[in-house]
Structure 1
Amino acid sequence: MKLINKISKALAVVTVALLSFSCESDSENVVEKYPTIVEVLDADAANFSILKAALVKTGLLNTFRNPGSYTILAPKNSAFIAAGINETTIQAMDPTQVGALNRRLRYHVLTVGTLAADLPSNGYVNTFSPFGTSTSTSISLYSNKTNGVVINGGNTNGGATVLQADINASNGVIHVISHVLSVPKVHNLIIANPDLSSLVGVLTSAPQAAVLTDITTTATGATTALSRTVFAPTNAAFGSAAFLTGQSDANITKVLRYHLVNNNLRASSSTSFASTAQTINTQLTGPQQTISIAAGTVKIADITAANATIRTINIQGSNGVAHIIDKVLQPTL
């Protein structure tokens, strides 16, 4: 009996000690409860009332009130006003305008909560904005962190800079940006990337104005006559393209057309453009010139023995898609 009493007393002491430790531990490890994205916007109405009004009008508000993990690139009121958007104009929008605003707002959303440190230093991510009527294909966004975080090459290209990063919410992360983003066309996503500046230089030269116009035209879906696929050579590829030296403007136009395809052709993965071999008609005609991609590869064959490799796939704009390649494709000139 005495032994049982001693054991009971010992257990009581241990229990009290454990309870005491638990209480001290709880007080030192209180988990901070973050507000939702909507609550963050409500708490700073002076800066975000127009964004909230736009979310309400487009039916998106509850998405960011509910549990989830989103990244919001949030323009301030001043950015909306600079873009000609305010609460009055939002309320006056007709259904077509509301649909366009919905698409534009969704372009400011990444579907995974991402801190600024985890955004690409020089690369593309998918947004919440769909391509045409697709439910599985979304518009791309380019992030560069050479000098702060710059989206889509900055305001002159329809992009913005991040003014304040990493505002934590219970259902995601908010980054405050300098301007309201435009939903980019495929050429905007090419211009945004410094590693494609040689291609941009050729495209924007006066003799190639018609080619540039061709890829800046608005298209509404993957199979319209106005949708484009661009095989975009890197700066290094242009530096290695000896055959371009001394070519006439007319021949440079042919080379560019050889990199363009009508319709929106997406790769199935980073290692396979398609499960079957592809022979693709380019825009270079008279006669028709093609490129080919072997089944289950991302290797592009032109008239030479050396294939190009697609290094980055499915950079999706609103009017077409780009694939970055490591060689300037050579046609018959």
Structure 2
Amino acid sequence: MIFRKSIFFTVALCLSLISAAAMAGSDKYGKKANKDIVAVAASNEAFTTLVAAVKAAGLVETLQSKGPFTVFAPTDEAFAKLPAGTLESLLKPENRQQLVDILTYHVVSGAVYAKDAAALSKATTVQGDDIKISARGNGVMVDNARVVATDIKASNGVIHVIDTVILPNS
């Protein structure tokens, strides 16, 4: 049973990587390793909401530091899936800690590339809670978010693009 599950996960991960490679080839999300995580995200129009949230949370310097970090980066479309008014509320100064908790839930210490994720069922986030990593019929999932692109290199880590904002349990 474990062997079958392992094969399934490996096949799903490979399919996800092939899809990601095709997306990366189009340079949709950027691949420049000479820029830090914030610069890579800021150079791509798919992450304008994420970059604004990182700035509002005061996390720019942290994500520009040496790291390395693995960031599961929600796209603008992912943020648009949040209930109406949620993002606006989170960006208010009085809700800064909640925003920090959500954003740091998208970050894992160390550089975890897609090939290494196959061995993981979970990872502890900078926020402190664990995220679940699994393979399903539609690819690799991180909690309830589908990974749509992997291994976008930055000088201080790696970015994996996800299609949904994930939320901490606490």
TM-score per shorter chain, which class? Answer: 0.7 to 0.9
SS in 1 for 2:121: strand
CA contact (8 A) 1:121 1:143 kept: no
- Deviations 1:172-208 (CA, angstroms, capped at 9, x unpaired): 0000001000113xxxxxxxxxxxxxxxxxxxxxxxx
Report what 1:74 is aligned to.
Answer: 73
- Which residue is 1:299 aligned to? none
Paired with 1:115 and 1:122, the residues of 2 have a C-alpha distance of 11
1:142 equivalent to 2:142? Answer no
Q: 1:164 maps to which residue?
A: 149
Assess, with a 3 A threshold, how the Cα gap between structure 1 residues 85 and 50 changes in structure 2: closer, same or farther.
farther
Partner of 1:292: none
Q: How many angstroms does 1:145 deviate by?
A: 2.7
For the structure 1 residues 151 and 36, does the alpha-carbon distance in structure 2 shift closer, same or farther, using more than 3 Å as the test?
Answer: same
Matches within 5 A, 1:118-133: 118-121=116-119, 123-129=121-127
Moved segments of 4+, more than 6 Å: none
Q: Which runs of 5+ in 2 are unaligned?
A: 1-31
**Matched-pair contact (CA < 8 Å) for 1:122–1:145:** no
Q: What is the RMSD computed on CA atoms of the aligned residues?
A: 2.3
Structure number having the greater helix percentage: 2
Equivalents in 1 of 2:42, 2:115: separation in Å? 26
Report the count of equivalent residues.
Answer: 138
1:93 corresponding residue in structure 2: 92
Match of 1:64 in 2: 63
Q: Quote how far apart the aligned CAs of 1:66 are.
A: 2.1
Distance in 2, matches of 1:122 and 1:39, equals 28
Code of the residue aligned with 1:117 in structure 2: it is: K
CA offsets, 1:74-128, max 9 Å, x none?
0001111111478x81685142x21111101100000111101111445121111
- Greater relative contact order (Cα < 8 A, sep 6+): 2
Give 1:65 deviation, angstroms: 1.5
CA distance in 2, matches of 1:92, 1:144: 30
Structure 1 segment 164-313 matched on structure 2, within 5 A: 164-184=149-169
1:37 maps to a residue whose letter is: I
Give 3-state SS (helix, strand or coil) of 1:103's partner: helix
Determine the C-alpha separation between the residues in 1 that align with 2:91 and 2:141: 32
Structure 2 length as normaliser, TM-score? 0.73
Number of the residue aligned with 2:42:
42
2:52 is matched with which residue? 53
Q: In terms of Rg, which structure is larger?
A: 1
Query: What residue number does 2:113 align with?
Result: 115
- Do 2:114 and 2:150's aligned partners in 1 also have CA atoms closer than 8 Å? yes
Cα gap change, 1:85 to 1:56, in 2 (>3 Å): farther
Distance 1:33 1:101, change over 3 A: closer
Question: What's the secondary structure of 1:149's corresponding residue?
Answer: strand
Tell whether the 8 Å contact from 2:108 to 2:124 is kept in structure 1 after alignment. yes
Is contact 2:90–2:96 with CA below 8 Å preserved after alignment? no
Whether the 8 Å CA contact 2:72–2:161 is kept in 1: the answer is yes
The secondary structure found in structure 2 opposite 1:80 is helix
For residues 149 and 122 of structure 2, what CA distance do their matches in structure 1 show? 20
Cα separation, 2, equivalents of 1:167 and 1:99: 28
TM-score if structure 1 supplies the norm length? 0.39
Instruction: Output the CA distance in 2 between the equivalents of 1:33 and 1:160.
Output: 25
2:77 and 2:130 map into 1 onto residues whose CA distance is: 25
